[in-house]
Structure formats: structure tokens, C-alpha cells
Structure 1
Amino acid sequence: MHEMVKGGNVGLAALSEDAGAVVVSLAWSSAGGDGDADVSVLLLDADGKVRGDGDFYFYNNPAAPDGSVQLLGKTPTESGSEDRISLDLTAVPPEVSRIVLAASRYAGARFGDLDDLCLTLADRVGDALLRFAIEDAGAISAVIFGELYRRDGGWKFRAVGQGYDSGLAGLATDFGIDVDDEDETVDGEEPAAALEAAPDAPEAALGAAAEPPKTLTPPAAQPTAPAKRRPRTARKKVTLPAVTRKSLAENDSWRMARLFPVGTLKSDHERETRATSVLLSVMAQVPEFGRRLTAGFGAPAGRMETYTEVALPHGGESPKRPDGLIRVERAGKLWTALVETKTNGNPLKAAQVQDYVDIAGRRAYEAVITLSNDVALDGSPLVDVKMDGRRKHKVALWHLSWAEVTHQAQMLIRHEGVGNAAHAWLLQELLYYLQHENSGCHGFQNMGPAWVPVRRGIDEETLCEGDPRAVDVVANWERLIRQVCLRLGGELGQKVLPVQRVKRGTDPAERRAALADRLCREGRLQAELRIEDSPGVLGLTADLRTSKLRTSLEIPAPAAGSPLTWAKRLVRQLPEAPADLHVETLVDGRGGGPRGTLERLRPEPADLLPKDGATITGFRLSLFKGMGSTRGTAETGFIRSVDEAVDRFHDTVVTALRRARP
């Protein structure tokens, strides 16, 4: 990998033979766990200005219609998080000469508060080509990491590292964007928003303003669109309406007809073939969705066709039949990926995936995509596959979990929207299928064979440090937390990421081994979740000795007012919170202060004040719940109990505090 220094430049052709599609990752870490930033991209002409406001891509405008730019969103890493951008350089309009890659912070935050700022650029198979680290960010709220520019018929990268005190708005203005920083509220009267409120009645929820017949009218016959408003760097506030429509059914036993029937599936083979066909068909028919799932895998923006049960020769053996095949065509060139699917918690088979990688290499296909309930972790591959380095053509091996597929569908139809009502209905039918109890597509759903013996060993105090079974439990706990983040983020339409408080470059295996030893000593699994616009980091602790789950949130003391005013205001902000919510006063940055349940504190908020007049630095809010005993997703399962604990705390505590914030 080529290490860049500030001001340096390098041609992409010198780093890779296939750099027509690249993924740029902007990464950082935060010692406090709550640091965050957002990426943005600007397309500039020869004069160094945008051609129009549409050349500005950020959180309120995440994708280019031609597929040349797509913000892929944040993904957790072993030491923090990274925001990724997919760039199809072959689709960039010829009049664009430069692509600026930037990031910004908000609410007064500065990049100097973050650690390990760096940009990484990878080719279509995921191999990192270059890296640029910024060591001296300082008190800036926006920074240009680098830029791609045309030179002699190719693309080069320049490491910039330029900061802005004026934030994203100031950066955009410098390149010719006229921004409007007022808050924007979307009242949710569009079909995508209505679909969430009435998921069982898509044809009614689309509403009279977006009837399917109108969506079939050719674009030329559509009425002239109103003038586009200026880009707003303030975040969109999406409020989904509570749409209620009376059912036309005579009684509750009537079931609505579904495009993808799921109730009669009986075998794992049926589930796999049906799930593969349903997903691939929707990907081909809804361009925004198909592009969303494949852009990060190096696929170009183009016409997509999908196939199932394709027979492919494999040496002298009988033909192999991967579950699916994706083909994307752009400018006469084809990008092809084989798909291997597993449902209902069935594991991927290394030999099977190896066969498909070998076939892809011989046929010059670009990728193999595995799709299962499992969640991939850095440093812990799901299957052990060997790549033949003698072949000139490289094959990329990528993994998707069903939870990620569901998350992307939710984000599109419930929060970001699609441009066609029929496409929104298709995505809603896909969501119904994926979330049906009989589909087998519920994501990670089993804590593994080590779960029961580890819990027994902790209960009997016979589990010793260095036990590999504890490492397996820690890895599966990480998978569960990542899935919780995907599910909650899809429902809220907000970024939800696990927090990692370690330095970048920490070895994943060593980190998990240390956490496993801690589990053996203390009997607890711990995690933290950062939810966008929340007043703090949500903590989650699974105490295997007491079989209790604890969800908690620490909020700092206000800058103004008296301690008694703080206590009264806090209790007043939680009118609908559970009576068993525990409130603890933090004294001098730690615990040890007065505590009690909300039921007891409501009539006497002054009980939260330390008797000795010690300095109050904040409050910790906690809910406790019994922990499921089995390892799966049954009513008594551990995974379900974690989901329920997080949902209850967020809905009754975090939402109330967020609503009460000025």
C-alpha cells in the first residue's frame, strides 16, 4: 500500500490495473467513544467550481443519479468507524476534472478531538492502494482529505489535508455552492414515509398523491418539477406521519395477498432458493436498491440483470450451481458476481465457496458474494478461502448478512425514499418477506455452541482465562451488537454504531482474547452504542453471573443552574419512563452518589443531591432486565432479550431525553 504525505500525488494506474471503480474510506477513532464526522464529495469543473448544486454529495444528498458517486455510510471497524464512498470513475461526466473528498463535524465539534484520522483508497476487489494520515488536524470543523483529478487520460490522487473553521457550509461555499443552513423538516407525506406507518397495506399507504398508474407515465408526460431548493447542510428532520386506514377485511382472520408468499416454506432448500430469487429480482427491478448493495463491492453503475441456479463447468467434475449470479453492464463492459446464499442460520461451507472462487477466476468474473445470517468481523473470516495468486485476474470475496440487506431496504423506503411508488411497494414486499418468521432471513440468531458451556463455567466458577470458547462467545457478542446497530439504525433512519475505545491498528485477535479473559474474570459482556443525536453513549452489559441485562446512559450535568434544578428537570423530562428506571448521581466524574428508582424520585427529586455537597458531574440512567437462558432467538433466547432491552431503553428513555433537548 502506498503511503501518502501531505501535498503528494500518485497516479491510480500505477497502483492498480483496475481502478475504474474505487472505494474511499475516511476513518477516525475517539477516546471518548462519541466522536463522529460525516463525509462529503464535490465534483468540480476546470475552473475549480461545481457545475451546480447537484454536484455536492453529503448526508442530505447521498447518491448521484448516474451512479458515479454514492455515499455508502458508516461501518464499524476494529478501532472505531469509517465512512465510505463508492466512486465509479468511468461514469464521472467528462466535464468534471476534480473530485474533492472531505469530511465535517457539527455542533461545535472539532477534528482535533479525534484520533487516527486517515483516508484509504481501495480498488474493486477491496485491496488498499493508498493511505493518507492527517496528524495535525487542530481546531477545525471541516477538512479536505484529498482529491482525485484527471491527468493525461487517467486519474491521480493528491493528499490535501486542508482544514476549514467554517464547517461544511464554508467548505461548500468556497466551491460555488449556495447553501441554506436553516433546519429542514420533512413532513413525511411521500409514499415512502406512509409505507412505514401502514406496512400491511402498501396499496393504501401509497396514497392518492402517488397512485401506481401515475408512476408508469413516461417522464416526458410528467408535470414540470418545482425549482430545486438550495442544499441545506443542516440535517433533515424526518417526521413520519401516523397514517391509519381502515381495513376492508370482514374479520381479522383474512390475510392480505403478498407478492412473495412465505408461509408455506418448509425446508432449508426452499428457503434458500426462494430468498435468493426474491432478493435478486428486487435488486434488478429497483435500481437504487441494487446499486446500494453492490456499489461497495466495486460494481459499476449500469444495467443490472440477475439469475438463479446457473450451471457452470468446473474442470472435469459435474457443473457447479451457485445460488445466484449478478451481472452489471456499463459502456459495453460486464461486471459479474456469483452469489452463495444460506438461510435459517446454516453456515457457509468453505469448500463450496472455494469452488465458486476458482470458477470466477477462470471465467474472469469479478467477485463472489456470500449471503447468510452471520455477520462478518474484521480479522475473523466466515470461511477460509485461498486465492490463486498466479492468476492475473483477481477475484474479490465479499460477504453480506441478511441484517444488512434489511437495513438498506428500510433506509430507502422509510427514510431516504425512492423515486417510484411501484419500487417503494416492491421494497415493502421484500421487507415483509425478510422479516417474516418463516423466511429464515432474520440475521444473526445463534450465540454458538460455546455459549452454554461458557455460561455454565461462569456460574460454577470453573472457566479459566485463555479458554478458546470464551473467545468464540466474545466474537458472537460483537456480531450481535453490530446486528442490533443495523436493526435500530434502519428503524430510526439514523446512524447507530458500536463504540470501540482502542487505538487504530490494534490486532483484532489480541483484542478479543483480552476481552475473553475479562469475561472469564468478571462474568460480564459489555458494549456501547453511539446513536446519532442522542445525549450520550448507550451502554449495554450482560452479566452472566446474575442473568441480568443492564442498559444505561450517562448524561453530563448542565452548564448553568443549580443542582436541585438539574434534578427536577431530569425527572420532569421522563414522564413516561418506566417506574423501575434507576437514576444515579455521578460525583466528580464517577459513581458513588445518591441513587434510586424513578418511582421514588418523582415526588422527591432532591434525593439525588449528595448530602456532603460534592460536585455533581452528571447522572446515569439504567434499566435492568432478565437475560434469556437459551442461545438463540426463541421467546426465552438471549438474542431476543438483548433486542428487547435495547428497544425498551431507547423508546422510553433516550427518545424522551432527545425530545426534551433544546
Structure 2
Amino acid sequence: MSILPAMIKQGEQARLFPVLADTSREGRIASIFLALLPTIPALAESVLGTTGLRIGKRTRIGTYTEIVLKDASEIGNRPDGLIVVETGKTTWTALVEAKIGKAELDADQVSRYLEAAKANGIDAVITISNQFVARADVSPLSLPKNTLKKAGLFHWSWTWIQTQCDLISYQKEVHDHEQAFLLREFHRLLKHPATGIERFTQMGPHWKEVVQAVATQEVLKRTSAEVEETVNSWFQELRDMSLLLSSHVGQPVTEKIDRNLLGESSARVKEGCRTLTEQSRLFGSFVVPGAASDIEVCADLMRRSIVFSMKLKAPQDRKSTKARVNWLLRMLKDDDPRLAIRAHWPGRKPPSQKDVSVLRADPEALEEERSDAAPHSFDVLLIEVDAKRFAGRRTFIETLEACSRDFYDLVGQNLRAWQTPPPKPIKTPEAEPDAADRHEAEDES
């Protein structure tokens, strides 16, 4: 696509080796990324697929930088790029705005780009920054709903793009040697600290203050700036942790969000603030392909503990508590002191919990006063308690992410959900021939 699209009056094809000022880090990395989309189909399919596009063999992709739109009268209304995707007679276009380092997206600027997209017949605006979101169709910005009707709005974090490169490499989706080389070099560039791409590394400035307030039993207001900041930081970390786990397991790990809150960032933050102020806890959940169940995580500010867990249904073909516990223990290879098992019982009996090391020695230790029934389900837990590191903005994140990998290595990869075994054939004694059959056999003889 060497001819400029009709809606732009000035622009350049995205270059793999852009000639830009040393201060233009955003323009340089945006140009490199956009230049790779037409070159590496697997990368284009991975990232553009989040906008609803299907990238096939007949798809043609054009990418441009330093563009000036024909219908754009405002000074400074110059997006960082344009993507044009042609499949047959269908053309889809998107403006691109990129930020790097500590720079965050500006709501007014993105609103102007949405206006410009509508005026120029452009389908979408894509923002890229170090800000994290749960899904590509959820923006980190709070924009009026009427603004969002002008064009589609999508967001990718640079770390998410880096993770897509990881997954493409792990799953060996690129067979062309030149493409594989370019993908490796781009991934190396994204990981270099000088590039300005950052993971989520610390909670908000008021984290220690909120933790201390919970410890002293002060009343937290769900509408306070400190509480909202803490919840927003937690949601950013959950998204980053899903990317971290994706790279760790080589499969896309997704954050599980209540359907009623999906896409409603303000409602989700409001619910998170309610949970934090009422329970002094922060919750999250992840879906790992092929795992026995979702991975749940809870940060308990009162106890200053981090808990990862998975729930399993107890095997119904084993009747005693001992047999059911042993079934679970056989899947847990290591006796890490942080591991515990919680049993859930029929009726209104409260759950009981013991360390894995205790249950190795005595599988019936969970029973206590419940010898009349067997547990119907188990939670396998990893419990990390470190009050000093928990209160630190950066050390909390470090501990949380280390525990996420440890839990998957110790528990997540080993658990298998119980399934009802197939029925066995019924063995019946051979029937004696009746009198008529005997007479018939005698006549034939």
C-alpha cells in the first residue's frame, strides 16, 4: 500500500528503522510496531483480532505514521499512526495514539481523535500505553458514552503486546525464518528498560496508608480517593499478573470478571471499593486454559496475607474422608509450608483447614468432629503472610507476583478435576435354556 489512503493528506509508511529525533521514543517504537504488522501475519492476527477483525491470507495491511488528516482543523490533532486493513472489498481503518514511559493517555486528546475518526470515515481509534485494562475494548479513560458512539475505541498495553510476542513464539506460530527473527528482535526491544515499557510495579501512593488504616480499624469510606486509588491499582495489577502468568505458562491466561461488570469500569471500581471497605479484602480470579478450575487470589489487608486458591469437587467414588484427601494429596508433589487444604462439608457445617504437611501424616485430621460425613469439595491454598512486605507499595507487588508463579508450579499445573468414571459392563450369569429350546435342540439332533 504505497499510495496514501484518501482520508490523509500527509503521512509516511511506517518504517522498521524510523529516522526520528532522539527525544521521540513514542514515535520510534510506534513506527517499528506498525511496520511489523504487515510483515508478521501472526502478530497482526493476534493484536488486530481483539478489535473483531479476522486476518486471513487475502488480507492486506497498510500502516502509516506522522499522518495529517484531511478533515482535521485543530492544531495538534495529529495521531501517531493509521492502520488500514483490506479484505476483499471490505476496508477497516483505525487511528493510533501511543504513549510510553510514565506518560498517560489524555481524555481530551482521545476525544478529539474520535471526533476526527467520525469526520474522516475512520472506523476506530486504538490507544497504546503502559496503562493496563481487562480487555482491548475497555479503555483506561472515562469518556462520555456519546463520545464512544463516534468510532470504536480499543486499548493495548505495551506489556500486552510483549506478551503476545511471547505466546506466538511459545506456540511456534511463525515458520518463516525472517519473520521469526524480526519477532525475536522486537520482543527484545520491548523488554529493554531503555525503551520505556513498564510493567505494573507498585501500588498507588496511598497503599501503605490504607493498609495501616485497616490495621487500626479506622473506618474507610468507599468514596474516598485513597480507597478508589487502591482498587484501581489492584485492578491494574490483576491485568499485569494475567500477562505475567500467560508468559509463564505459554498460554493466554485471562482475568475473570463478573459478566455484569465486564466493560463497566466505573461499576467494577465501585464494587471493588465496597468489598475493600466492608471486608478489608481485594479479590481477583484467573482462567488458565486446561486448568482444573479458576485460580482465585485474595489480598487480606487485616491479616496482611496473600492467598491463592483453586477449588475441586471431591471424588464421589471414594466414600471416606481419608480416601478423598489421599486422592488430592497424590496430585500435590511438594510439601511447601505455605500449602493448605480446606474441606467443605455437607449441610451447614463450617469448613475445616489443615496444612498439607499435617495431612500427609494424618489424612483424617480434617475430620475433627465430622466423622459422620465426607467432604464434598476442597480448596487448595497457598497462604503467604509477611506483614512488612505486604505494607510496601513495591514489595507487595513483588510478593504477589512471586506467589502467583509458585502457586501455579506447586498446584495449578498438577491438579486434575475428578470425573465420573464410565460404567462397567454388567456381568450376568448365562441363562438356562427353557423346555421349548431343549425340545427343539433334541429334534434337530
TM-score, normalization by structure 2: 0.74
- Aligned-pair CA distance for 1:299: 5.4
DSSP-derived class of the 2:343 partner? strand
Equivalents in 1 of 2:253, 2:306: separation in Å? 20
Equivalents in 2 of 1:291, 1:536: separation in Å? 28
Say if 1:524 and 1:543, in contact at 8 Å, map to a contact too: yes
DSSP-derived class of the 1:582 partner? strand
- Aligned-pair CA distance for 1:440: 2.9
Matched, 1:464 2:226: no
Alignment of 1:139-538 (within 5 A): 269-297=23-51, 301=55, 302-312=59-69, 318=75, 320-331=77-88, 335-376=92-133, 381-385=139-143, 394-415=150-171, 417-469=173-225, 470-494=227-251, 496-500=253-257, 509-510=266-267, 512-538=269-295
Letter in 2 for 1:279: F
Alignment of 1:109-124 (within 5 A): none
Distance 1:312 1:451, change over 3 A: farther
- Aligned-pair CA distance for 1:481: 1.9
Say if 1:577 and 1:653, in contact at 8 Å, map to a contact too: no
- Aligned-pair CA distance for 1:274: 3.5
Say if 2:282 and 2:300, in contact at 8 Å, map to a contact too: yes
- Aligned-pair CA distance for 1:646: 1.1
| More strand, by proportion | 1
Residue 377 of structure 2: aligned partner = 618
Residue 55 of structure 1: aligned partner = none
Letter in 2 for 1:383: L
| More helix, by proportion | 2
DSSP-derived class of the 2:183 partner? helix
Say if 1:496 and 1:531, in contact at 8 Å, map to a contact too: yes
Equivalents in 2 of 1:512, 1:319: separation in Å? 33
- Aligned-pair CA distance for 1:628: 4.1
Equivalents in 1 of 2:264, 2:140: separation in Å? 18
Letter in 2 for 1:574: L
Letter in 2 for 1:294: L
Residue 397 of structure 2: aligned partner = 639
Equivalents in 2 of 1:513, 1:388: separation in Å? 22
Letter in 2 for 1:571: L
Residue 629 of structure 1: aligned partner = 391
- Aligned-pair CA distance for 1:592: 4.3
Distance 1:370 1:466, change over 3 A: same
Alignment of 1:560-571 (within 5 A): 560-561=317-318, 562-571=320-329
Distance 1:291 1:584, change over 3 A: closer
Letter in 2 for 1:629: A
Distance 1:448 1:311, change over 3 A: farther
Letter in 2 for 1:587: W
- Aligned-pair CA distance for 1:605: 2.8
- Aligned-pair CA distance for 1:330: 4.5
Distance 1:515 1:388, change over 3 A: closer
- Aligned-pair CA distance for 1:337: 2.2
Matched, 1:542 2:314: no
- Greater Rg, structure 1 or structure 2? 2
DSSP-derived class of the 2:337 partner? coil
Say if 2:80 and 2:96, in contact at 8 Å, map to a contact too: yes
Distance 1:363 1:500, change over 3 A: closer
Matched, 1:595 2:353: yes
- Aligned-pair CA distance for 1:639: 2.7
Equivalents in 2 of 1:408, 1:524: separation in Å? 31
Say if 2:215 and 2:302, in contact at 8 Å, map to a contact too: yes
Equivalents in 2 of 1:602, 1:531: separation in Å? 28
Distance 1:388 1:537, change over 3 A: closer
Q: For 1:365-413, what per-residue CA distance to the aligned partner results, in whole angstroms no more than 9, with x for missing partners?
A: 3322101122235897533556988xxx953322112233233223322
Distance 1:578 1:275, change over 3 A: farther
Distance 1:516 1:502, change over 3 A: same
- Aligned-pair CA distance for 1:286: 0.3
DSSP-derived class of the 1:309 partner? strand
Equivalents in 1 of 2:305, 2:355: separation in Å? 17
Query: What percent identity do the matched residue pairs reach?
Result: 27
- Aligned-pair CA distance for 1:560: 1.5
Say if 2:115 and 2:150, in contact at 8 Å, map to a contact too: no
Equivalents in 2 of 1:411, 1:276: separation in Å? 21
Distance 1:614 1:495, change over 3 A: farther
TM-score, normalization by structure 1: 0.52
Alignment of 1:41-80 (within 5 A): none
Distance 1:395 1:279, change over 3 A: same
- Aligned-pair CA distance for 1:649: 0.4
Equivalents in 2 of 1:495, 1:433: separation in Å? 21
DSSP-derived class of the 2:103 partner? coil
Equivalents in 1 of 2:264, 2:73: separation in Å? 42
Equivalents in 1 of 2:145, 2:269: separation in Å? 26
Q: For 1:189-233, what per-residue CA distance to the aligned partner results, in whole angstroms no more than 9, with x for missing partners?
A: xxxxxxxxxxxxxxxxxxxxxxxxxxxxxxxxxxxxxxxxxxxxx
DSSP-derived class of the 2:153 partner? strand
DSSP-derived class of the 1:656 partner? coil
Q: For 1:486-527, what per-residue CA distance to the aligned partner results, in whole angstroms no more than 9, with x for missing partners?
A: 332344244533334565899764554243123113211112
Say if 1:589 and 1:618, in contact at 8 Å, map to a contact too: no
Matched, 1:584 2:342: yes
Say if 2:228 and 2:273, in contact at 8 Å, map to a contact too: yes
Say if 1:312 and 1:319, in contact at 8 Å, map to a contact too: no
Equivalents in 1 of 2:75, 2:224: separation in Å? 39
Equivalents in 1 of 2:203, 2:265: separation in Å? 19
DSSP-derived class of the 1:575 partner? coil
Distance 1:590 1:646, change over 3 A: farther
Distance 1:600 1:545, change over 3 A: same
Distance 1:342 1:444, change over 3 A: farther
Distance 1:309 1:456, change over 3 A: farther
Residue 10 of structure 2: aligned partner = none
- Most deviating of 347-356 and 517-526: 347-356
Equivalents in 2 of 1:542, 1:593: separation in Å? 20
* Superposition RMSD in Å: 3.6
Equivalents in 1 of 2:306, 2:298: separation in Å? 6
- Most deviating of 295-304 and 277-286: 295-304
Distance 1:460 1:533, change over 3 A: same
Say if 1:585 and 1:591, in contact at 8 Å, map to a contact too: no
Say if 2:159 and 2:198, in contact at 8 Å, map to a contact too: yes
Q: For 1:403-451, what per-residue CA distance to the aligned partner results, in whole angstroms no more than 9, with x for missing partners?
A: 3323322332212612423222322222232233443324444543453
